[in-house]
Amino acid sequence: MRVDSKAQTIQSAAMRALACLALTVACSSTPEQQPPEPPPESEIALASPEPVGDVARFGRASDYSAAHAGHVLLILRAGQVVYEAGQNGHLPNEVHRLNNASESFWGVLGVAADSDGLLDLDEPATFTLPEFKNDRLKREIRIRHLLDYTSGLEPGVAVLQADRTPNLNKRALTLGTVSPPGADFQYGPSHLFAFAEILRRKLEPQGMDPLAYLKDRLLDPIGLRVAAWDRDQAGNPDVAFGASLTAREWAKLGRLLIDNGLWQGETIVAAEDLREAFTNRNSTPEFAFTMWRNTEDNGGARKIRLRIFYPGSIPSLLVAAGVGNQRLYVIPSQDLVVVRFGAPDRGWQDRTFLQRLLAPDAS
């Protein structure tokens, strides 16, 4: 896995600040993009021709993506490619920056780390972060709160950017609190960088860092190749914004989730542990373990507080979402994994895209 990077053109700070209002914060230093190696067919195979109705639905979704600054659309059913297209002059196998959707790997890794005995998701953060002991609210933070983004830490939108902050982990620990742990969901990178510092300190005796552990524990076992992952000036991986990879590679994470932690018959993460993480009633309804959820409110409408992903009966939907409308949709009820890459477009709507993708009579 590449972890060093050279400068590359990125979106302006103003564009990034506007985008964070809905889902995110700004991107960090940019990676050198390497020519991607398409995965072998043994990893992601091409499916037999789809039924006419499915082809029409996929085409409608693709047209909508392309009309809203889409770059790549990839659809997998049962682990096989059923639709793949480059859009607006882009190629399907281009390496693409995930921006803040880079967070999507770390919740699953947290579950694996708990299973490995490296940490306990319910242990106080102060077990590893003595800096929190003198703060009345911080000393109540559990690791689970950090991965649910309910730790109560200030979100850190403005300050936790690698091009401005030499040590992202250390800076996150200095942020104040805005609510008691577990009381409120605050989207922002502070929680994840605090989690990364816990991982760093626990792994240091083994001569590993969080990115090496991610690669060894999760990425390599499923053959997932990241083209580049940025680091800050102190050498910490930019866990919130730093990943760049192809659509087919990101889709492997979605496949692992649909198969409840299994990969080609081998257990990578225990199914019961994943299920508990993503369905824990103590988590905020719309977000759990670094993934957005499509949950049910008291009125029966499937919705997200910040955005409605799909107002239909797919409560198991998980979404990783990044600036520029980078998306990983995991739809177990349909056995679908969908990756969409693109550029910022204010007209983009997740629910409209998903309606075209899933509804037989969508127009």
What CATH number should be reported for the domain holding residue 323? 3.40.710.10
| pLDDT value at residue 296 | 53
Other CB atoms within 10 A of residue 331 CB: 22
Is position 1 within any domain? no
- What local confidence, expressed as pLDDT, does residue 8 receive? 36
Residue 55 lies in a domain: yes
Distance CA 255, CA 250 (A): 9
**Whole-angstrom distance, CA of residue 211 vs CA of residue 240:** 12
Residue 44's pLDDT is 59
Asked whether residue 8 is assigned to any structural domain, the reply reads: no
Does residue 3 lie in a domain region?
no
pTM of the model: 0.84
pLDDT at site 152: 96
Quick check: is 209 in a domain?
A: yes
Residue 197 sits at φ, ψ, to 5 deg, of -70, -35
Residue 208 lies in a domain: yes
Q: Which of 67, 73, 60 is nearest to 355 (CA)?
A: 60
pLDDT of residue 61: 96
Domain residue limits at 261: 13-358
Residues 6 or more apart whose Cβ sits within 8 Å of residue 360: 53, 57
CA angle 282, 288, 291 (to 5 degrees): 170
Domain count, the chain: 1
Question: How many CB atoms lie under 10 A from the CB of residue 282?
Answer: 11
- The answer to whether residue 168 sits within a structural domain is yes
Kindly list the averaged pLDDT for each block of 10 residues, start to end, along the chain of length 363: 37 37 38 44 52 83 98 96 97 97 98 98 98 96 96 93 87 96 94 98 97 98 98 96 98 97 97 89 78 63 47 78 96 95 95 88 45
Residue type, position 10, single letter: I
Q: Which two tokens stand for residue 294?
A: 């499509």
Counting beta carbons within 10 angstroms of the beta carbon of residue 221, is it exposed (0 to 12), middle (13 to 18) or buried (19 or more)?
middle
Question: Residue 310: its pLDDT value, please?
Answer: 66
The upper half-sphere exposure of residue 253, i.e. CA atoms within 13 Å in the direction of its Cβ, equals 30
Per the listing, tokens 């102060």 go with 126
**Is residue 171 situated within a structural domain?**
yes
Residue in this structure with the two tokens 């050198």, named with its chain if needed = 32
The single residue listed with the structure tokens 């091009």 is: 163
Tell which phi-psi region holds residue 36, choosing left (phi > 0), alpha (psi between -120 and 50) or beta.
beta
Give the number of other CB atoms < 10 A from CB of residue 181.
22
Distance of alpha carbon 162 from its chain centroid, rounded? Answer: 18
Which distant-in-sequence residues (6+ apart) come within 8 Å of 61 by Cβ?
Answer: 73, 75, 353, 354, 356, 357
Please tell me the predicted confidence (pLDDT) of residue 308: 52
- pLDDT confidence of residue 161: 81
Whole-number pLDDT of residue 41: 38
